[in-house]
Structure 1
Amino acid sequence: MSLRLKTILGIAIIQAVLLLILASITLEYLRTTNYDSLSKRASTTATLFATTTADAVLSYDLASLSAFVDEVMKNPDLVYARVLGPGNQVFAEGGDAAILSRPFKQDIDVEHVDDTIFDTYAEISEGGEVYGRVEVGIDINSLTKAIEAATTESATVAAVGMLFVAVFSSMLGTYLTSQLKSLSAAAKSIAKGNLAIKVPFKGRDEISHVAYAFNAMAANLKEVSLRRDQFEAELQELNRSLEDRVQQRTQELEKANHEIKDAQTKLIQSEKMASIGVLSAGVAHEINNPLGFVISNLSTLDIYAKNYRKLVAEYQRLQEIDDPAERDAQLQVIADLTESSDLEFMNDDLDDLLKDTHEGSIRVKEIVKGLKAFSHADQTGRMQLADINECITSTLTVANNELKYHCELSTALGDLPQTYCLPSKIKQVLLNIILNAGHAIEGQGHIDISSQVIGDYIEIRIKDDGCGIAEDEISKLFDPFYTTKQVGEGTGLGLAISYGIIVDEHNGDINVQSEEGKGTCFTLLLPIVTEQLGTGDATVAV
């Protein structure tokens, strides 16, 4: 495809998209505004008509009702009006007889009207008691035709605009390609090895500057080509001997690097799954609790649904009965069914059932989401923009059942900027330290977790009032396989892995303060990283 054609098509496509978007927005606004206006007008007309006729309906003043109907029919586009008394008895009506003879069906919005008439009603009530209603219908033909005309005009304007764009694009493409033909021919000549080429140019525009630079490039290429031929022969022999050694060494380094990364990933994932294993029984209990009352609520909702279906069926049967005696009998059936099913209690209880069921489902979802985040093995090594406070809260969701029976958790999370990090690994560090804090507490205790911005760093503090750590053991905490737990209760890798994640992978720091018998405080420092540079790299905020 030529540059000229690309220029024409590119500009035309951009202009077409802009025209289509503009036309669509304009037409949608026109349609929505007019539909809303007509809907509001119909509702207002019906309400005012109901208010006007209320006294006449209550006093059965049919003459006044007929006059009111004649008066309201003076409204433009109003095709009928009807006043109904108790038992849907017609007190007065006016307008198109054919339309008045059809069954009344209320229209919710203008867009879905299928008979060109927007039908609506308003109830006539006094002291909370409904004594009748008014029904009106508004013809929407004029509105529909206006919108269709606007659509046609928009299409015409768009077509004319596209024509002008095509002509302009063609002229611009012709101008550009005529200037570039000589450059194209020269480039092909250089590609064939003719480095003595020179492009003629005139003027001072950008293409002339390109032609000047092209000639300078051709001259430099000719000089470089001669020098390259001299060095090429010397380098070929040297490269031949070096290539084999470099390739062999590179393969060895790549293999060793891959093995180290693979072993590190497996080690981190193994420690992560060990933490998940410690939490599994508690997590199962956490999921079973909300699932239990969700299932119970669904059973109750099933009973309520059946009662509602019965009531709806009886009301539908009532609408089909015209005889007053039969209607009274059917109303009694409905009243008995309402009392037997305790409709008032069902209505009051329904919102609570749905709210509890929704909250239980969300609780299960959050627990499963947290487990998935922790169990996922992230092998990409690529930093992601993340909220550290969200890492803390999702970690507490997973660890909650392990801690809640003997630890009181309190959080004071400050307003933190998002930062590039490895969220799954940050959560693993938090989980290791929080679980260690819980294990250090015998009986009942407290764990305080806080976050704040300190200069260019995010500080996370995890403090417990557990058994504490002896001073001579603090320096060994981050050594691999060192643990203060009983044999079989810990691998001794959790804090070593945490140190590598925070210090080595995130350029942060971990500090420990502890006093035996009083508790321990871990402080994590993460640099605030605002720009992603590449795999594992980022720019620290200044």
Structure 2
Amino acid sequence: MAYDKREMNEFEIKCEYLTEITSLSCKRRVWDLDLASIGDLAQALMHESTLYAFIVSNGDKVVFGIMKEPLTGISPNIPLSMIPLNSENYDSVKIKKMEFNGRDIGEVRLYFSTKEIKKREIAVIWFILLMFAFSGGILLVLVYYLINIQIMRPINVLGLLNENLSSKFIELKSNLDEGSYEKIISINDSVPEMFIDEVEKYRAKKDEIGSLFRAFDIMKNSICTATNVVANISSKLMEVNEKLEKIVDMRTKLLKKSNYNLKMVVARLKQTQTTMVQQEKLASIGQIAAGVAHEINNPTGFIMSNMGSLSGYVNDIVSIVNAYRKASDLDNPDEVKAALEEAGKLSKKLDLDFLISDIKDIIKDSSEGSVRIKDIVDNLKNYARIDNNQSLSSININECLEVTLKLLGNELKYDLIVSKNLEDISFVQGHSGQLAQVFTNIIVNASHAIKDQKRDQPGHISVKTYDKDDFVWCEIEDDGPGIPADIMQKIFEPFFTTKEAGKGTGLGLSISFDIIKAKHNGDIWCESTDQGTKFIIKLPVHHE
């Protein structure tokens, strides 16, 4: 028998509704693997005349299953494709996925049949035909009664119950979405007083209406249980939130204290770094102290010698002046003339003209020596000072190199030949004292490496500067023994040294690396073979 579109729509809606209710009821049971409880639910569902089979699966495996005609269970853990279902016994399959705690836990499959509907409708039609034969009026009254009292009234009551439950569930979901946990309350399972008698009557029926009411009870009980759990969890969640706020407040205070301590540690580290840099400078100064002393001793020696000569010249000039002064004190012309002749003879004897000329040379030489001493002292003072000022100044790299080479002159001149190729280069922004320290560390290391070879001929160091690509380049190259490949990657590490204990701190190249990279935004690297080593320094012309 064919069905009209309305009947099929009602059948589909009923199937969808029952599937939705069943999936909600199964979620917790499947999560807890409560097969006994799922079995009780299945037994209740099998009272539904249109339901042929009920299956709960996870992936392609059966968790629980039961089917009608005959009423038998389906073995768990078998593949879905091996379920012995007869396609002639069902007309529609409804599948609903289940999620719990945000995780996919499986799906519910309900297989529905229209056979019972067909049987009921055939019986109703025969009944209507027989009743129509006896009395058309009575048949119309009975049909009206059956439709309005036996079917529509239960459906309307169930719809009102569902609306009541849905409104509470929507309110619960809204509070959950908004995070208003304090507004979450349990959804009770009470029936409005005006429907109590009707609901009990419909629930006791053995037909589809009774099955529908009993299924609705199962769904309602599951929802009530779930909301009770949510209400308890929300209450506990509020308590946890309060504890978390206290913990966060405490941790915030601890974090502020830790940040303060960290700032103090950073300040001490900066002070330690400054101290270490200055100590390395002093170590370098100690290495060149003898040379500086020698450079100062040379002009000091001839200044002292000139002072001895100048003292004798002054005594001779004083003698001549005294002779002329004696003549000026006489009144007798003859005596004055005789005194002037004696003074003239003394002047020629002591060679006054030579004395005056040589005094000028002595003063000139002594002044030059004093200037030389002043330059050495100024260079040493500029090299040794601490660059506490964070602001950068314009620097000519060539001048830094010249100052450094002058200070190291005595250290280098006996064992090394230094060649310079300093081009006309741009100014860079930086600290002259720090860059001078970098050049000193590299050149002194090259000098020591060459001296350790104890070669017969002096070594060679070349210094080259030039502009390229908006950078000032400086190359310092020596013909020493070179740096072995296995330690090349370590030369810029703090405290790494190849020198004997007590002869090196291992901080020179590490500090040089930090000065160039961190403080001058430049770059420094090394190239080495067994024929020598080249250090390359690149500094930007303009700091951004």
Q: Structure 1 length normalisation: TM-score? A: 0.50
Q: Structure 2 length normalisation: TM-score? A: 0.49
Higher-Rg member (1/2): 2
